[in-house]
Amino acid sequence: MISLLYGFVYDGQIKEHELFGDIMAEDTANSFLNDFAQTKQGNDTIFSCWARYQEAIAQGHDAVNGTIGALLENDGSLAINQTVDKFVRNSPPIEIAAYAPLKGLPDFLDLAVTLALGDAREELENIGVHHTATASPGGSGALFLAAANYADRGSKVLLRDRHWGPYDGFLAGCGLEIATYPLLGASSGLDLPALEAGLGNLAQSQSKVMSWLNDPAHNPTGLSLTSEERMSVLRAFSNAAMEHEDVGFTLLIDAAYHVYAREPHGWAETLTDALHDGMEWPANLLLTFAISLSKSHTVYGLRGGALVSIHPDNSVVERITTVMGVTGRQTWSASSRLAQYSIAKIHSDSESGAAWSDEKVRMTEILKQRRDLFIATCQKLKVPINPTHDGFFAWLEHEDPNGIVDSCALEQVYLVPLNGGVRIGLCAIPTDKIERVAVSLSNALKE
Ligand SMILES: Cc1ncc(COP(=O)(O)O)c(C=O)c1O
């Protein structure tokens, strides 16, 4: 019996009713479930692919796991930042047992701002940018806080067409719909015209326009925008805000993987540059960061994160502090004190902060080796993968992702079919199996 992430327990057998649901039981259950609840389908694609991989291992196959979204060492064990593990284990009993303050522990909230803004924080503060942070259960909690408060129910949130699947559920749960623009434009980078058009269109009919951008190190592609592209995005938002003065615009940067990227704090740096270059920050534009400790500190199960919002007007961030605190209170009460305490403690001391960073650099290097090898082999075999730069994943755009994934599975390579393509979990694949994954994709494409 193997238990890994999310307490998903696999006993070696995939039972039909677990994957497809028992239709009869569903009819009865629907008499209790409201309309929205009835739209919720189990069988998370990623976890069922992972179960398929486990089944292959149980049958004795030399299978490759490219399914899950957690960093695994080359021996297949979960990569754990040892400094974090030590600090969590050595936390005093009171920090484990007690509630955290509803909005979060002050030292952690301060750290969350630094995790969002990096070294640019001081300069942004100097030029009058104010910030607020609210602790949340993971990055998911931070996304929920934004969904619950920064858009009107019934309105649309602007996403790129390739995005992390759970976004759809967080937004739907808050009564929100989705509008999308393409992940890539003609020159294989940001599709700026589509972003501008998307913002303009929504602003015609909505009084609030929010857009979520998972950058750098996008899930599911590993794409990171360049500094020029970040600048174009910021200008697109500030132009849209100036053109539509009665509309509130929120740009949310989902920073779930940012510490593993080459420019972890690129957004804060680009913002600083833009403000120095004379970009005006319209009062109706808000920037917000969804911070997750899950990957950055390898504490997936401790559920640590924060929503950090920044704006030039202090009264705006003060009001947001109240609203987010009340939302947390009414949803999950307080967030995990242990996660907040232990991670803040690590970064309060330069020695332990450096030890955390050394481990993080080691993990980033593992990801880089796998990605470089994957890109090189795909180039050699002419596998047309998407641009991929940082973080946990790579992506093959394809109109029949299920066909590709099934074909790879015949060669004992397990990947994830998602809307519009195949996600390759470089984070989970041992470096010496990377070439095999590229070969199996190449074979699948020939069929
Ligand atoms: C794109 C993205 N955003 C946010 C999260 C949130 O992670 P968590 O809630 O575990 O912190 C994840 C986790 O997989 C993710 O992939």
Measured from the Cα of 292, ligand 1's closest atom is: 11
Q: Which domains are seen in the chain, by residue range?
A: 2-13+45-81+355-446 (3.90.1150.10), 101-335 (3.40.640.10)
Q: Is 224 in the pocket of ligand 1 (CB under 6 A)?
A: no
Q: Give 376 Cα–ligand 1 centroid separation in angstroms.
A: 28
For the segment 92-109, the average pLDDT, to the nearest whole number, is 97
Judged against a pLDDT cut of 60, whether residue 339 lies above it is answered with yes
Whole-angstrom CA distances from 93 to 338, 359, 434 are 9, 26, 43
Convert the pLDDT of each residue in 10-51 to its tens digit: 444 545 445 455 556 678 889 999 998 998 887 678 888 999
What is the chain's length?
447
- DSSP secondary structure string for all residues of 24-70: HHHHHHHTTS-HHHHT-----HHHHHHHHHHHHHHTT---EE---SS
Distance, CA of 100 to CA of 133 (rounded, Å)? 14
- Which pLDDT band, with edges at 50, 70 and 90, does 186 fall under? confident
Does the structure show a pLDDT above 90 at 8?
no
Residue 423 has pLDDT above 90, yes or no: yes
Structure token pair of residue 86: 């030590």
pLDDT at 60 over 80: yes
Token pair 């979060």 in the structure block, residue:
104
Q: What number does the ligand 1 atom closest to the CA of 300 have? A: 10
SS3 358: helix
Work out which ligand 1 atom sits closest to the CA atom of 138.
11
Return the pLDDT at 23: 59
Report the C-alpha gap between 229 and 274 in whole angstroms: 12
Q: Which of 47, 50, 140, 215 to mutate to test the pocket of ligand 1 (most atoms within 8 A of CB)?
A: 140
Measured from the CB, is residue 256 less than 6 Å from ligand 1?
yes
What is the reported pLDDT for 209? Answer: 98
Across 209-220, average pLDDT: 98
What's the pLDDT score for residue 9? 45
Mutate to test the pocket of ligand 1, among 159, 219, 293 (most ligand atoms within 8 A of CB): 219
Q: How many CA atoms lie within 13 A of 57 on its CB side?
A: 15
Q: What is the pLDDT of residue 133?
A: 98
Q: Name the closest-CA residue to atom 3, ligand 1.
A: 256
Cβ of 198 less than 6 Å from ligand 1: no
Which token pair is 224? Answer: 């990171």
pLDDT at 27: 81
Q: Is the C-beta atom of 305 inside 6 A of ligand 1?
A: yes
pLDDT at 21: 52
How many Å from the N-terminal Cα to the C-terminal Cα in the chain?
36
How much is the average pLDDT of 71-92?
97
How far is residue 216's CA from residue 257's CA, in Å, rounded to a whole number?
Answer: 7
3-state class (DSSP) for residue 114: helix
Q: Which of 23-32, 112-121, 217-226, 334-343 has the lowest mean pLDDT?
A: 23-32
The predicted structure's pLDDT at residue 2: 43
Q: 66 falls in which pLDDT band (50, 70, 90)? A: very high
Mean pLDDT rounded to a whole number for the chain: 94
Report the nearest-CA residue for atom 14 of ligand 1: 69
pLDDT at 85 over 90: yes
